Amino acid sequence: MTTTDDIVETISFFDSWEDRYRYMIDLGKELPSVDESIRTDEKLVPGCQSQVWIEADQNDDTLNFKVDSDALIVKGLLAIVMAAYNNKTPQQILQFDIESYFTALDLIKHLSPTRGNGLKAMVEKIKRFANDAN
């Protein structure tokens, strides 16, 4: 499983944002495939430019997420978010400093405003799952 530290370290090797975007797309391609049944209105994340679906299951103490998007770059963003949140306890999710993580990736200022808002909407949906499970 790719960790947040792995992603920060790897992305820092790339000089251009074009190469970083390619890396993010590759991360998205590594996400586990999900069944089409995840693509429901209840699992759709509002506020995203592309369609994004997130489903959470609680397994013992941890939350396990199934995620999908209709856009390659957004799947990459989902992979970055999943490195921070997937298979973590609700408490770990709520305590993780996602803003510092995004800052370390130098991510937000390289996304369009609508993509940045969508990324924030993904994080908020995951935090709601964590709050509900807590």
Reported confidence tier of residue 49, pLDDT bands at 50, 70, 90: confident
* DSSP per residue, the chain: ---HHHHHHHHHH-SSHHHHHHHHHHHHHTSPP--GGG-SGGGB-TT-SS-EEEEEEEETTEEEEEEEESSHHHHHHHHHHHHHHTTB-HHHHHHS-HHHHHHHHT-GGGS-HHHHHHHHHHHHHHHHHHHHH-
pLDDT at residue number 10: 96
pLDDT at residue number 1: 76
- Active-site residues, by number, are 48
- The domain segmentation of the chain, as residue ranges, is 4-133
Reported confidence tier of residue 134, pLDDT bands at 50, 70, 90: confident
Q: pLDDT tens digits, residue range 77-129? A: 999 999 999 999 999 999 999 999 999 999 888 888 888 999 999 999 999 99
User: Quick one: average pLDDT of 30-39?
Assistant: 92
4-133 CATH fold: Sufe protein. Chain: A (3.90.1010)
pLDDT at residue number 108: 87
What is the model's pTM? Answer: 0.94
pLDDT at residue number 113: 87
